[in-house]
Structure 1
Amino acid sequence: MTELAKTFDPAAIEARWYSHWEDKGLFRPERGEAEPFTIVIPPPNVTGSLHIGHALDDTLQDVLVRHARLQGKDALWVVGTDHAGIATQMVVERQMNARGEKRTDYSRDAFIDKVWEWKAESGGTITRQLRRLGASCDWANERFTMDEGFSKAVLKVFVELYKQGLLYRDKRLVNWDPGLKTAISDLEVETKEVGGKFWHLSYPLEDGSGTISVATTRPETMLADMAVAVNPEDDRYKALIGKNVRLPITGRLIPIVADEHADPELGSGAVKITPGHDFNDFEVGKRAGFKPAEMLNMLDADAHVIQTSDGLIPEEFLGLERFEARTRVVARLEEQGILGKVEDRVIQTPFGDRSGAVIEPWLTDQWYVDAETLAKPALEAVRSGAIKVVPESWKKTYYNWLENIQPWCVSRQLWWGHQIPAWYDEDGNVYVAEDEAEAQLQAGNRKITRDSDVLDTWFSSALWPFGTLGWPEKTEKLERHYPNDVLISGFDILFFWDARMIMQGMHFMEEVPFKTLYLHGLVRAADGSKMSKSKGNTVDPLGLIDKYGADALRFTLTAMESQGRDIKLDEKRVEGYRNFATKLWNASRFCQANGIGASKTLRAPDAAAPVNRWIIAETISTVQKLDLALADLRYDEAANTIYHFTWSRFCDWYLELIKGQIDDETRAVAGWVLDQILVMLHPFMPFITEELWHAMGARENEIIVAHWPLADTHALDANAAQEIDWLIRLVSEIRAARSELNVPPGAKLALHVRDASAVTGERLDRQATALGRLARVETISLDPAPAGGAAQVVVDEATYVLPLEGVIDLTAERARLTKGIEAAAKERDSLGKRLENPAFVEKAKPEAVEKARADHAEKSAEAERLSAALARLG
């Protein structure tokens, strides 16, 4: 036994134990024959650092992994980082810019070498921070989405999907980010409300018979208009369908076409169609007979105006930035008398979530995955229950997205990433292969050039559950650990990552990638607002670890994680759970001081004393509740179960009940219970539990690989449990009465009992010593209490009377209680009237209403408590 320091200091133990576990390979002990348990970490960006969302996500995973490891399973937590194409390239380019360099100063290969250099020097920040959190990952087999084995899987998937006709090259509109100069997905577009205008334009008919009015929020795109659409049922325009309009500025003749996209109820009912620069117009254009290759493009990659294929844009507009072009176009239209009214309008405007640039729909050749086909098995996997979604409320969102899924654009115009394995000859023919040698064989003696684009980062990370296990090779690890057991993810990447893993897993492994998908909420500020740097309300998990320890932060996040709800993180909760750790530390010191040490047995020791039989039963009940909560992924329930048992049952009651009567039986039981607490608490608070585990005595193994407690129902003793529960309730009632009536703490009172059953009488005899010490009771009598003021409490069938004559000033006490009742009732009623006022509830800030309700409940309880105390005086 190692004597514990008087003060619990998390910093002194955390780094020491983590390196010990990792150095000894305890995160993945050799258990080849054991039942496998597998979870993969959502690979954080290699550019990243630990934020509070990571801390939540990874704590929840670690709780499950440590629990499975303690259960004796072959627990594998796959860890690694994502190459994060856009983010990483941006970081390296910023560093270059700071040195007065730019990416294009280097060849592609030289730039990629620079990125690898950056990764070697700075790319391990987040993995070091995960260690500080206590994440017990399989670091010995850490993966990276650009490592050799994983890259092989990515190339294999691309080629196979291409051969199967599920991946193809097509000219379509994409979300083009002019800041990053790459296509991005719909999921990477952030739509914001921006003040703008609605310009009404009058396009002249070719035959000079009149005009047709259209309205637009982007007048510059009229330089590439190809049609005007009207609804076929709109009587105003039926006669115009098939006629031509001569566009202002360019002079281009464009047809008036019939299409249901034009809503007769909106604006003039006629819509200008720019299929090369608007997603809706693209579809209208195709229905009107325009092939994508024929659609006009008026912008380059920087969103500057270029000449269209028909050469009709006047030279004065060429080279203008798109918003500068807008100003110039509006001025020309006004000069020509084409511009009608201009309305102020709030515009839903798309922005790139990384660059902050306004996104431009842009017509380019890109690579697409037939997501609709891949989505069908993924939908069935959830519908059939092959994948359990927790909480179930997310199923509807999942179904809706997959049922309406669009082709997935997987090419990006970057240098860093998995370069697309496609080569082109001089005639534009494409050859897809896993390497250049195979592509050259396909091309014969023709000269070929590789596609310069790279794959969307999410394309590669979609292979994470099987690519990290050795696929496409049929490895033992793959056969053993696929499918994974659980995937834990924030709901915000349900489509980015989770759904795509299901799609690729079902297609290539013909089996679900994981059996359960757990989606947690966001971590919000204490007032419920979303955290953001601009608001200054973000929380640094590393700062909280420095201040309170990793165990306290982990326990806070676990205890507050309730299915389907966001977490309102208050630092006071973290401080509270650090106090919980201190409570456990001090309880262990008490045990040491009384000769209580490490247990020698996994099963509960034999016990005769009711208090020992009670705590054994309480321990077993806690194991049962904890197992059930973890099986159901009820994190808050699991944390609160072990918290309540440790703090209330063990520290506050059991250790108090055994004081002064610690014999060999009690030492054996107390040591066993403390061991069970440490093991049950270990998944939540790994550091303090490992430290205490060794401090309490010699051990064969570290707690990280100890045995999970047995839920041994044979050790349950209903009679002992009932007796100690009775004792706790009686002591609690007496203590409450003493406190409410201002009885001096040191005063010892006589206790008179009436209407006691035979069972209660026997309990009073057995527990007289405990009652005397815990409730400050001097004598216990079944005789009637003397006349006069007394406190009375009722527990079960018996009434317990505590005479107070000469102990307190009864008259003054009655007056104090009466005054307190009146004051509490007055505040309660005032708050009640405010809450009954609809104007207050509807107009006041939500936090003000919430506070008023909390205050009302508090004052109501206070009035009731004081009234009960007054009634006790008789």
Structure 2
Amino acid sequence: MDKTYQPHSLETKWYQHWEKSGYFKPQPSQSKKAYCIMLPPPNVTGSLHMGHAFQDSIMDALIRYHRMRGFSTLWQGGTDHAGIATQMVVERQLQAQGVSKHDLGREKFIEKIWEWKEQSGNTITQQMRRLGASIDWSRECFTMDDERSEAVKEVFVRLFDEGLIYKGKRLVNWDPKLHTAVSDLEVISEEEDGFLWHIRYPIAGQSTHIVVATTRPETLLGDVAVAVHPDDPRYQHLIGQKLQLPLCDRLIDVIADSSVLPDFGTGCVKITPAHDFNDHEMGKRHGLAMINIFNDSAVINQNAPHQYQGLERFAARKKIVEDLERLNLIEKIEPYKLKIPRGDRSGEIVEPYLTDQWFVKVAPIVEQAIQVVKTGKIKFVPDNWKNTYFEWMNNIQDWCISRQLWWGHRIPAWYDEEGKLYVGRTEEEVKLKYNISLNTKLRQDNDVLDTWFSSALWPFSTLGWPQETKELETFYPTNVLVTGFDIIFFWVARMVMMGLKFTDKIPFNTVFVHGLIQDSHGQKMSKSKGNIIDPIDLIDGVDLETLLKKRTAGLMQPQMKTQIEKNTKKEFPEGIPSFGTDALRLTFCAIATTGRHIRFDLNRVSGYRNFCNKLWNAARYVLMNVEEHPLGKTEADRTYSIYDQWIQSSWQQTKRMVAQHFEEYRFDLLVQCLYDFTWNQYCDWYLEFTKPVLMQSDNESLKMGARYTLISILDELLRVFHPIIPFITEEIWQRTHVILNQMPTTESKESIMTQAYPEYNKHLHNAQAERTVEWLKAFIINIRTIRSEMNLSPSQTIPVVTTGGSSFDIENVNNYQTVLKSLAKLSELSQLPPTEEAPVAASSLIGDMTLHIPLKGLIDKTKEIERLTKEMGKLQKDIDLFSKKLSNPSYVDNAPKEIIEKDKERLTSAETNLAKLTENFNKISAL
């Protein structure tokens, strides 16, 4: 093995070997259980971001774990066509060439998208390979490939024929820039500064008026009523009367509706059913007209007074307000903060817009989807997320599935010249199905389906449905869906409904819901904040100049760009160092808590890079002491020391906890217990315990026991760790496997990923060995602590005298003199008779035994007293300072809580340390 751990060369080598060898493909057999995970298909336009890398690391850990446990495993991968996002990318490319999609026409434009997809659409899948994802790439799917397209048509036609898909005029989120309906998921509502206009609506036939407050005065042109609460005494006398709609030659009614909030604004609400979701529902309740005043670009149409027609919505707003002021119909205008909905792709303010769309009627299929979660057939982890699922399912609305795009699954519906609608898988099928003459000319619907429609079929369409395939029989239902909480509504729920509807089975047994990655300050990662971290940069490293360019690319505001550059230079003054894939994956698993949000701190990655280095160095120590040395051919050749028995026993407990944590999806606890065993038990203690045996003992059987334990524990540790850190474990395991099996080569022809996953062995649990070694560790730690407190050099050998002690304590001192002297650096270890008085010493208690380090002759009394006096003076100053601050009521009442807590911690620490130094000072003074 190389002296230093260099991850990059071994990562490339091993991934290519795994993929080429076909290890990622399921190995079905009648004796194997099946295990399947569906990759949430990332956008074909995308590149790997932190959220992808986080959940991909978790999924790969689960897949590798079950593969090693003997399951026939399938991690089904693929990408989503991402309707709006992909169309926008290609449109921008064409615009740069001075060409629009309309110049090309629909067919040519779609050809351009397919060309782009083939050339650039596999970026994210290549990056997933860098992450070590063991997906069966030979089965990679795309939501618009031929097989998925057939499944989409099949589902659409069946739902339509059952009356569960219909076309109707409904209110939708409309993006006036992209000219399409968008889903709720594609709308981001954030608080912005606006105004509340209080407008006077004259009462017909009277000289009085009522005042209506609105944040959108331009929609006044589409008002059909003003609503008040039926119990509001201010307006009860007006219910049923007519109002003159300002700026329009129309009269509208005052209606009563209990949904009106009397305390909001003036208690009078203008009702515009064609341009507000709440108004739309009220309009349906009261049978009101639906007047659409916008065209699909949010420009005022012919349904409004002539003077406003052709004006863009905000230009119309300005003119309407001016006209209202001129007519003295503005009561007042006040600043107001409101939620503004913007399309996440275009950044444009979306409009509630009345238009013809296709819908899925979900009421008939939602109940069964609720019951499978209620009865535990589908389990959420953590369990509380099922409440989010229920909340949405119990209030579900019909699903708008049509989009006014060119890129996507085109709706399989056709119209004749009279506009009559027909639905079928193909035009030929439509003509046969509806007895239409083959010569009749039909026109296909221009709309495409919402991307989530094809994604809802993903768990079964990727396995060959509607055909009854072997894969569908073997791997469906899948085992676990790994996803963020933000798409429980939009994807998880729809997959459950569609799965039950078309397969009569649930699509997965468990939904593991993870938190969303934030930066180290708890901020959402976003381009505008300039805090995005590219996972590939964490693997490969990136210099500061390149990092700055990536974070500020495309930003138009100089002030924002300057601030991001400043923050980046402060956080990464030299750029981001290279950590390698394993350190990043280990970090992701370690932070996979049950929380809603997960903070990502680069220091954690650095710490886990150090851990990988520690594992590498430990392996080098093991190999140097085991290679070319006999291990013994059978168990009879080996004698196992108390240290061998202890580490084996401790290892069994660790394996049992690992299995439990995998079962419960507690990757954070899993990493914690493996980290603790590897670093604290195996590396820091067991390797040290073996040194006296290997270097000082003449007992060859005992040495073979130590060598075999060293290599066999390391071999199992690598296999247990492999699902989390696959590359380093493969590299080291190739050598441990060869040694354990005494092969005449330096590298195995097998792979660690096909080996059995180590399991708990109760026969190797040894409570007595654990008790004894824990005592030895406590002895050594106590001596090392005294050394530190008394400022004794770690390399200086010292005498230790013991007094008292139980038979267990005394037995351990007598039986393990060699290891205690070696690891505690003792020149002498003796037991003082009960009749003799202990010398002036630094002392510590272990069990019933007292350990004494005689100080006389070990230290320079004058210099040590001088040093202690100086240290005690510093601590006393700190105590005085913090005591004064914390006794000041003004400071305590006004300082941030976290600062107060930190000051209290510093005070406690200073007092504790002063007490220790004072005790040492008194002992040394007595010499």
Q: TM-score, normalised by structure 1?
A: 0.94
* Distance in 2 of aligned mates of 1:50 and 1:296: 45
* Distance in 1 of aligned mates of 2:900 and 2:43: 41
1:587 and 2:618 equivalent? Answer: yes
1:27 and 2:27 equivalent? Answer: no
After the TM superposition, which residues 439-454 of structure 1 pair with which residues of structure 2 at under 5 Å, given as runs?
Answer: 439-443=430-434, 444-445=436-437, 447-454=441-448
Equivalent position to 2:651, from 606, 616, 619: 619
Q: Is the 8 A contact 2:143 2:149 kept in 1?
A: yes
Output the amino acid matched with 1:196: G
Q: How much has 1:479 moved relative to structure 2? A: 1.4
- Root-mean-square deviation (CA, aligned residues, Å) is 2.5
Q: Is the 8 A contact 2:164 2:360 kept in 1?
A: yes
Q: Is the 8 A contact 2:26 2:74 kept in 1?
A: no
1:538 and 2:513 equivalent? Answer: no
- Distance 1:567-1:272 versus aligned 2 partners, 3 A rule: closer
Equivalent position to 1:481, from 466, 472, 475: 475
User: C-alpha offsets along residues 151-193 of structure 1, whole Å, 9 cap, x if unaligned?
Assistant: 1111111122222222211211111111211111122211122
Output the amino acid matched with 2:505: E
Moved more, 747-756 or 458-467: 747-756
Which residue is equivalent to 1:805?
856
Which residue is equivalent to 1:783?
832
* Distance in 2 of aligned mates of 1:340 and 1:652: 78
Equivalent position to 1:517, from 511, 517, 529: 511
User: C-alpha offsets along residues 119-171 of structure 1, whole Å, 9 cap, x if unaligned?
Assistant: 10000000000000111111111111111111111111112222222221121
- Distance 1:72-1:850 versus aligned 2 partners, 3 A rule: farther
- 3-state SS of 1:151 partner: helix
* Distance in 2 of aligned mates of 1:49 and 1:329: 45
Equivalent position to 1:684, from 703, 713, 724: 724
- Distance 1:265-1:711 versus aligned 2 partners, 3 A rule: closer
After the TM superposition, which residues 810-821 of structure 1 pair with which residues of structure 2 at under 5 Å, given as runs?
Answer: 810=861, 812-813=863-864, 816-817=867-868, 820=871
* Distance in 2 of aligned mates of 1:153 and 1:871: 84
Which residue is equivalent to 2:296?
301
* Distance in 2 of aligned mates of 1:20 and 1:470: 28
1:105 and 2:103 equivalent? Answer: yes
Output the amino acid matched with 2:785: A
User: C-alpha offsets along residues 337-358 of structure 1, whole Å, 9 cap, x if unaligned?
Assistant: 3222222222222111121111
- Distance 1:846-1:56 versus aligned 2 partners, 3 A rule: farther
After the TM superposition, which residues 618-767 of structure 1 pair with which residues of structure 2 at under 5 Å, given as runs?
Answer: 618-662=650-694, 663-696=703-736, 697=738, 698=743, 699=748, 701-767=750-816
* Distance in 2 of aligned mates of 1:148 and 1:834: 72
Q: How much has 1:859 moved relative to structure 2? A: 4.1
Moved more, 373-382 or 175-184: 373-382
Q: TM-score, normalised by structure 2?
A: 0.89
- Distance 1:110-1:831 versus aligned 2 partners, 3 A rule: farther
- 3-state SS of 1:654 partner: helix
1:226 and 2:224 equivalent? Answer: yes
Q: How much has 1:776 moved relative to structure 2? A: 0.9
User: C-alpha offsets along residues 252-290 of structure 1, whole Å, 9 cap, x if unaligned?
Assistant: 122222222333333333222111111111112112213
1:471 and 2:465 equivalent? Answer: yes
- Distance 1:837-1:431 versus aligned 2 partners, 3 A rule: farther
After the TM superposition, which residues 103-142 of structure 1 pair with which residues of structure 2 at under 5 Å, given as runs?
Answer: 103-142=101-140
Q: Is the 8 A contact 1:375 1:402 kept in 2?
A: yes
Which residue is equivalent to 1:249?
247
Output the amino acid matched with 1:495: F
User: C-alpha offsets along residues 430-452 of structure 1, whole Å, 9 cap, x if unaligned?
Assistant: 21212211222244235421111
Q: Is the 8 A contact 1:602 1:709 kept in 2?
A: no
Q: How much has 1:221 moved relative to structure 2? A: 1.1
Structure 2: which 5+ runs fail to align? 541-577, 695-702
Determine what percentage of the aligned residue pairs are the same residue: 46
Equivalent pairs counted in the alignment come to: 864
Q: Is the 8 A contact 2:43 2:82 kept in 1?
A: yes
Which residue is equivalent to 1:327?
318
Moved more, 829-838 or 245-254: 829-838
Q: How much has 1:316 moved relative to structure 2? A: 2.4
Structure 1: which 5+ runs fail to align? none
Which residue is equivalent to 1:561?
592
Q: Is the 8 A contact 2:402 2:448 kept in 1?
A: yes
User: C-alpha offsets along residues 531-585 of structure 1, whole Å, 9 cap, x if unaligned?
Assistant: 2222222211111101010000011111121112532222121111111111111
Output the amino acid matched with 1:564: G
* Distance in 1 of aligned mates of 2:915 and 2:93: 66
Q: Is the 8 A contact 1:230 1:271 kept in 2?
A: yes
Q: Is the 8 A contact 1:596 1:668 kept in 2?
A: no
- 3-state SS of 1:778 partner: strand
- Distance 1:512-1:853 versus aligned 2 partners, 3 A rule: farther
Moved more, 728-737 or 443-452: 443-452
Q: Is the 8 A contact 1:789 1:810 kept in 2?
A: no
User: C-alpha offsets along residues 220-271 of structure 1, whole Å, 9 cap, x if unaligned?
Assistant: 1111111222223334433433332232322112222222233333333322
* Distance in 1 of aligned mates of 2:837 and 2:127: 68
* Distance in 1 of aligned mates of 2:408 and 2:676: 49
After the TM superposition, which residues 168-207 of structure 1 pair with which residues of structure 2 at under 5 Å, given as runs?
Answer: 168-207=166-205
Q: Is the 8 A contact 1:378 1:502 kept in 2?
A: yes
Q: Is the 8 A contact 2:626 2:711 kept in 1?
A: no
* Distance in 2 of aligned mates of 1:416 and 1:89: 6
Which residue is equivalent to 2:485?
491
1:354 and 2:345 equivalent? Answer: yes
- Distance 1:789-1:50 versus aligned 2 partners, 3 A rule: same
Which residue is equivalent to 2:370?
379
Q: Is the 8 A contact 1:27 1:137 kept in 2?
A: yes
- 3-state SS of 1:152 partner: helix
Equivalent position to 2:41, from 27, 40, 43: 43
Which residue is equivalent to 2:280?
282
Which residue is equivalent to 2:355?
364
Q: How much has 1:494 moved relative to structure 2? A: 1.6
Q: How much has 1:390 moved relative to structure 2? A: 1.3
- 3-state SS of 1:6 partner: coil
Equivalent position to 1:150, from 134, 148, 168: 148
- Distance 1:627-1:828 versus aligned 2 partners, 3 A rule: farther
Q: Is the 8 A contact 2:809 2:847 kept in 1?
A: no
